[in-house]
Amino acid sequence: MNMHATTVVGIRRDGKVAMGADGQITLGNTIIKRTATKVRRIYDGKVLVGFAGGAADALALLERFEDKLRSTQGNLQRACIELAKDWRTDKILRRLEALLGIMDREKSYIISGQGDIIEPEDGIIALGSGGPYALAAAKMLLKYTDLSAREIVEESIKTAAQICVYTNTNIKIEEL
């Protein structure tokens, strides 16, 4: 069975950074959890990380990323590069199936197991099965409203939940 779970969205607006995710984890066609936490504050609360994919894989990568962040004294870009390099070349890590969305006050990155490090042009992070729907909603809300970063994250995930069966409205949001 394939594990599906997640809509993660990260927004930066007016000096604020917010990242949130729904709480649903699905195994096959069964919802196995509705209250998962898929967004974390790390590095003394200075960095937000959200994940999509296999939960155990994502948590293992999150732990490794936090180690990289410490070893680079908080250099977010360098830590992302180091993690992607390890993920791509290590025989065990290479099998992990997840995506990480990472944000601080200035930068946003998406890291994949294929060695991709993507810095979105508009700084919006959107991951998971509901990610494309949430991304579209976030782009329009940023362009046409004065909603805060937190409000845009919440509304974007609610929009995705109306379309994506793997997304629910049990939303948890972290802010910087």
Taking the alpha carbons of 108, 112, 118, 122 in that order, is the dihedral positive or negative? negative
Residue spans of the domains in the chain: they are 3-167
CA distances to 26, 27, 30, 54, 165 from 1, rounded to whole Å, are 10, 7, 10, 12, 16
pLDDT tens string 67-102: 999 999 999 999 999 988 877 776 666 566 778 999
At residue 55, the pLDDT reads: 73
Tokens of 95: 């099998």
Alpha-carbon gap, residue 161 to 165, rounded angstroms: 7
At residue 95, the pLDDT reads: 64
At residue 1, the pLDDT reads: 34
Q: Say if residue 14's pLDDT is above 70.
A: yes
Report, in angstroms and rounded to the nearest whole number, the Rg of the chain calculated over CA atoms.
15
> What is the per-residue burial (b if ≥16 Cβ within 10 Å, else e) of 62-74?
bebbbebbeeeee
Alpha-carbon gap, residue 22 to 100, rounded angstroms: 15
Which pLDDT band holds residue 2 (cuts at 50, 70, 90)?
very low
Q: Say if residue 4's pLDDT is above 60.
A: no
Which pLDDT band holds residue 116 (cuts at 50, 70, 90)?
confident
- Strand 125-127's sheet: what is its strand order? 125-127, 8-13, 16-21, 172-175
The percent of residues in the chain predicted with pLDDT above 90, rounded, is 68
Full-prediction pTM beyond 0.85?
yes
pLDDT tens string 29-69: 888 889 989 999 999 999 999 998 777 777 878 888 999 99
State the chain's mean pLDDT as an integer. 89
Which pLDDT band holds residue 26 (cuts at 50, 70, 90)?
confident
Closest CA to 38 of 120, 130, 100, 112: 100
CA 176 to chain centre: 15
In this structure, the number of other CB atoms found within 10 A of the CB of residue 118 comes to 14
CATH number of 3-167: 3.60.20.10
So which residues are the catalytic ones? Answer: 6
Strands 3-4 and 16-21 come out as unpaired
Tokens of 117: 């490090």
